[in-house]
Amino acid sequence: MTDILSRIPSATEMPENAEPTRVALKDSRWSRRSLLGTIAGVTIASGLGALDLLPWSKPKAADALTEWTDGCHGYFNSSTVCTPSSAVYTNNCSGSWHKDDSSHWSGCGRYKYWPDTTSCAGRNAWRWTGSVARRKCSDGWYMYYDCGGSNTNITLFSICRTAI
């Protein structure tokens, strides 16, 4: 153990065979490569900073109703896009519009779809464009006959939700 400790140099006494450290002094002038590199870096940083001032470099606004706002402004929810979630969302689209189909209105298993032309100020659809959703929602109704239960027509609010 004493052998290892004896080999550690002292912080206060200089060793017997110590040589001075050789430090090369560098010329204080810039080389051509350093100067051109600095100029290029400053130019690129200035250009990127200037791009921040342009209108299209600004962050986008939050998703918003972009069409047919009167009467439909409460229908956006970032998780469901077309609300309310209690609406029927399946088999009710004809292309990107709500289905208008009463061809299955016979017998016990009858059902039909029709668009609602009175909602959204008579426009039947609304759309969102933005980072969260790009959707068109066309609303209407779905009716079916409850054969095994109440033996009555049951009508449900229905939304055709399509990507745009």
8 Å CB contact between 135 and 93: no
**Residue 68: per-residue pLDDT:** 45
- State residue 119 phi and psi, 5-degree precision: -85, 165
3-class DSSP assignment, residue 113? strand
Token duo for residue 162: 């399509």
Q: Distance between alpha carbon 63 and the CA centroid of its chain, in Å?
A: 9
pLDDT in tens, the chain (164 residues): 567 877 777 778 877 777 777 776 666 778 889 889 999 999 998 888 887 777 666 655 444 444 444 445 555 555 556 767 778 888 888 888 888 888 888 878 888 998 887 766 566 777 776 666 677 888 888 998 888 777 788 899 888 888 87
> Pairing between strand 135-145 and 153-163?
antiparallel
pTM of the model: 0.50
Token duo for residue 132: 């969260």
The angle subtended at Cα 130 by Cα 51 and Cα 56, nearest 5°, is: 15
Q: Closest by alpha carbon to 114, among 156, 152, 82? A: 156
Token duo for residue 87: 């609406």
Sign of the Cα torsion 148, 150, 152, 157 reads negative
**Within 10 A of 111 (CB to CB), how many other CB atoms are there?**
16
**Within 10 A of 105 (CB to CB), how many other CB atoms are there?**
13
8 Å CB contact between 140 and 116: yes
